[in-house]
Amino acid sequence: MAAEGTESVDMTGYIQHHLHHWQVKVGDSAFMTINVDTLIFTLLCAVTFLFLFVFLARRATSGVPGKLQSIVEAVVLFVDGLVKETFHGKSKVIAPMSLTMFGLIFFMNFLDLLPIDLLPWAWASGHQLAGHDPAHAYLRIVPTADLNTPLGMALAVFLMTQYVGISQKGVGHFFGEFFTAPFHAEGPIAKILLSPANLLLRLIEECVRPVSLSLRLFGNMYAGELIFVLIAVMTLGATLAHTSTWLLGFGQIVAGFGWTAFHILIITLQAFIFMVLSIVYLSMAAESH
């Protein structure tokens, strides 16, 4: 019974360690805590995305393109066509912003396909060489599995939506719709009576959009990361002398490959959904009711 209890504690500690961020507190307040690993890997993905597109733009040829250039051109044309079909206003920043959003989210999601223990093990080994306790070397490499990243991007989309609505309609028309839609009425008295309900529904709609946009991405990526951790736990503390180790190891390989193949679809689909919903919200802000 003691061995089983110890194994349970080790598994719990293993899972908690993988779900703990490398954090730095600002001052004495626990509220102001920075997830340093999220910032580092977000910046790394942004630099990689920027370098890739700048490199391909400078090396682009009108002749037969290479494989990477063909893939990027296909993505650019697809996003541009999607924006033209969905967004009916006039803006030169919607398509580049949508492409950047899709590419950045895809790169951040793609980090979830790296071996779950690879970078945390390297980080813990560096901690140990520096004379620190490796048990306190925390590192999470998927920025979108941290709620702060999807929420921050969703709030940026929310602010962009307000800007597009005001620039396309004007301040008076844009904020006037807060009191006149979705319930339309004829006559000044009916409009006044319906304005509180319209305002309440509009405020709920505006608040729900960034919440649902961020939680959808965060929930899928957090669950995907947790499943990879649970797959790794299957052979945690196992020894080669037991037959069960070989059976669990075979099951772990099958489960790992199966979930990785399925997760490739998830990381691409979540980046696509985030981009499409952002375009739809921007389009709705630009169109008059």
Contact residues for 241 (Cβ-Cβ < 8 A; gap 6+): none
The question of whether 109 is a catalytic residue gets the answer: no
CB 199 within 8 A of CB 256: no
Query: Residue 203, class by beta-carbon neighbours within 10 Å (0-12 exposed, 13-18 middle, 19+ buried)?
Result: exposed
Q: Using alpha carbons only, give the angle 148, 152, 157 rounded to the nearest 5 degrees.
A: 150
Cα 275 from chain centre: 11
The question of whether 216 is a catalytic residue gets the answer: yes
The DSSP result for 16-65, as a single string, is HHHT---EEE-TT-SSSEEEHHHHHHHHHHHHHHHHHHHHHHHH--SSS-
Given 98, 109, 198, 220, the catalytic residue:
220
Q: Please tell me the distance from the alpha carbon of residue 52 to that of residue 106, in angstroms, as a whole number.
A: 13
The question of whether 140 is a catalytic residue gets the answer: no
Q: Please tell me the distance from the alpha carbon of residue 89 to that of residue 92, in angstroms, as a whole number.
A: 10
CB 26 within 8 A of CB 34: yes
Q: Please tell me the distance from the alpha carbon of residue 126 to that of residue 136, in angstroms, as a whole number.
A: 12
Given 70, 212, 244, 288, the catalytic residue:
212
Q: Which residues are catalytic?
A: 212, 216, 220
